[in-house]
Structures are given as structure tokens and as C-alpha cells.
Amino acid sequence: MKLLVSTALAAALPFAARAEVTVTEAWARASILASRPGAAYLSLKSDLDDRLIGVTTPVAREVTLHATETHTAGIGRMVQIEALDLLAEEAVTLTSGSMYLMLTGLSE
């Protein structure tokens, strides 16, 4: 499944796969400059087991899924996630401090 995040990050379509995925609570942190990456957060729920393998949006050249790992020293580090498993009817929420969509090459 590939996810298309709209300009407002409010709707996601089309899903080529058979699964129906609902996106809620989508929001993006304002970026200071368009040259800096932005971060977007949302909640995903699929009606069938599925796997998120990519995200696109008209407002950024590239979207990657990142997770924040916090080490014992309290230092956060981000790691890229290639795919995110979605279990049927189980919401996965990308929230500040856990996972987020990193938007690179912002056009707006």
C-alpha cells in the first residue's frame, strides 16, 4: 500500500490495494524554512491486514517514515522505517516522540 497525503494532510487516497485505510488526526509541524525538513503526524487504521510501504504528498519531494529511538542517555536518534505493518482494525498513531513522516524538499 502506498499512501498519498494531501496538501492539507487530511485525506489519503488512492489505495490501489484492496484494503480500506482511514487516516485521522493528520497534522504537520510548521517548518521554519522550506529548505528544512518538516514532520507530519497521523493516525492510520486499515480494515484488513496491510503494510504501509510508501507515502507521497504534493507538498514534499520525498516522504520517509522515521522513528525516534531514545537511548539511556536520553539522546534521541532517528531511524528510518521501510515498512509499517497495519493490523486489521488496529489504529497506528504516529505521534511526536515516537514515529513521524519526515517531509523533505518542501514546496510550500
Instruction: State the residues that interact with Cu ion by CB under 5 A.
Output: 66, 78, 102
Of 18 and 77, the one with the shorter C-beta distance to Cu ion is: 77
Considering the complex, what minimum distance in angstroms separates the CB of residue 89 from Cu ion?
28
| Three cell numbers, residue 99 | 514515529
Q: Are 44 and 89 in contact (CB under 8 A)?
A: no
Considering the complex, what minimum distance in angstroms separates the CB of residue 25 from Cu ion?
19
Of 50 and 52, the one with the shorter C-beta distance to Cu ion is: 52
Q: How far apart are CA 85 and CA 82, in angstroms?
A: 10
Of 29 and 51, the one with the shorter C-beta distance to Cu ion is: 29
Beta bridge partner(s), residue 16 = none
Considering the complex, what minimum distance in angstroms separates the CB of residue 39 from Cu ion?
7
Q: How far apart are CA 25 and CA 15, in angstroms?
A: 18
